Chain A
Amino acid sequence: MSDCPIVIKDPLNIENNIGKNTYRITDIKAQFLRAANILETDKNEFLKASPADLKRQEDAIAQIDSPVFCDKLMFLNRIYKKEESHE
């Protein structure tokens, strides 16, 4: 087991390690950490932002070309909106 990059036990078969081929776990962790930092920063910025800032942000989002980046920001926006509506 110690040879495996990561151990993720399959609840359906305890002998099965789902992570046995996940040798890029370091990359994955780095991506997770990066995502955590981005989201945390965005969240803090959002909490500080005034409605006028938000409008400007939305306009900025619309101008960014990369569909992936755009997707991500839209997703964030949606999450925050959801959050607001719960409060």
Chain B
Amino acid sequence: MDHSLAKKIILDLCKHAFEDESIKLDVFGSIATGLALETSDIDLVVTGLKIEGRDDAISHIRTLKDHFEGCQYFSNIKAIEGASIPVIKLEADLQKLRENENSKNTSIVESEMRFLQIDITFEDSKEKKSDFFWEGFEWNTSKLHLGMKSIHLVKSYIKEYVHLKELTLCIKKLLSVRDLNSPYQGGLSSYGVIIMIVAYMNFFSLQNAWVNISQLLIHFFDFYGSKFEENKVGIMINRGG
């Protein structure tokens, strides 16, 4: 629906911008792992372009930014070149999209849902992502897009840890309501939330136990809210310490 429509338009725009039909657009982040809130942004990665270094990525971002600026659906376009992975952030106006693109759904978009936040990054085409990678292929050898790696990791956690999904959604919702979910504004990323939950479950050996989910949530809040001393200990998955 709205998401796929926005994605299609972005893909067309990318193909047009780089005059290359082989470009692909993949979704990663919380949409891909199934941990998205209704207000979550969507994370896209463009593959199929040659990127040999940082400069290539930055020049792609500039090219794409110029094209987005010429398109009526997108606003607030920001190219963040200084980030560890250069990224474009923009907002898609879903209302305009629905009105102009012959969308079947012509109802009015709720105001707080109207602008869809989108992050776009680039990945080198040579670094093919493989579904087998989790079984050990290309593990350390490739500089695979970290976002793509983390999808596989998060999905495997969700399979392994009972209730992880529900806990994550609930904690994400709390952080999002309090505006504490953006690492750019001192908050905690959802990846961070997942790591915290997994570490917590490891620490108390809860990963497979049949535990009451609400008790789990209360205990999680209590543990990190009062018992946890962030200036003394760090959070790490292996040992859960």
Contact = CB atoms under 8 A, between A and B. Distances in A.
Interface in B34-81: none
Contacts of A76: 214
Instruction: Provide the main secondary structure of the chain A interface.
Output: helix
B234 A7 contact: yes
Nearest to A31: B178
Contacts of B217: 39, 79
B226 interface: yes
A71 B177 CA distance: 11
Nearest to A86: B212
Contacts of B153: 11-12
Given A8-B235, A33-B225, A36-B222, A21 B180 contact: no
A35 interface: yes
A18 B178 CA distance: 19
Size bin of chain A's contact surface: 35 or more
Interface in B165-180: 170, 173-175, 177-178, 180
Given A9-B235, A29-B228, A36-B222, A19 B214 contact: no
A53 interface: no
Nearest to B112: A67
A24 B187 contact: yes
B150 interface: yes
Given A6-B230, A11-B153, A79-B213, A22 B221 contact: no
A35 B222 CA distance: 8
Contacts of B180: 24, 27-28, 31
Nearest to B234: A7
B235 A22 contact: no
Given A28-B187, A29-B228, A31-B174, A36 B218 contact: yes
Contacts of A43: 214, 218
Nearest to A39: B218
B174 A13 contact: no
Given A22-B187, A75-B170, A36 B225 contact: yes
Interface stretch (B10-18, B91-99, B119-127, B188-196): B188-196
Given A19-B188, A82-B213, A33 B222 contact: yes
Which of A2, A18, A29 is the most central at the interface, judged by chain B CB atoms within 10 Å of its CB? A18
A10 interface: yes
Contacts of B177: 68
Interface in B207-231: 212-214, 217-222, 224-226, 228, 230-231
Contacts of A22: 183, 186-188, 192
A40 interface: yes
A83 interface: yes
B149 interface: yes
Given A9-B234, A21-B183, A29 B224 contact: yes
Nearest to B230: A6
A76 B196 CA distance: 22
10 contacts: A7-B235, A11-B237, A21-B184, A22-B187, A24-B180, A24-B185, A32-B224, A36-B218, A36-B226, A39-B217
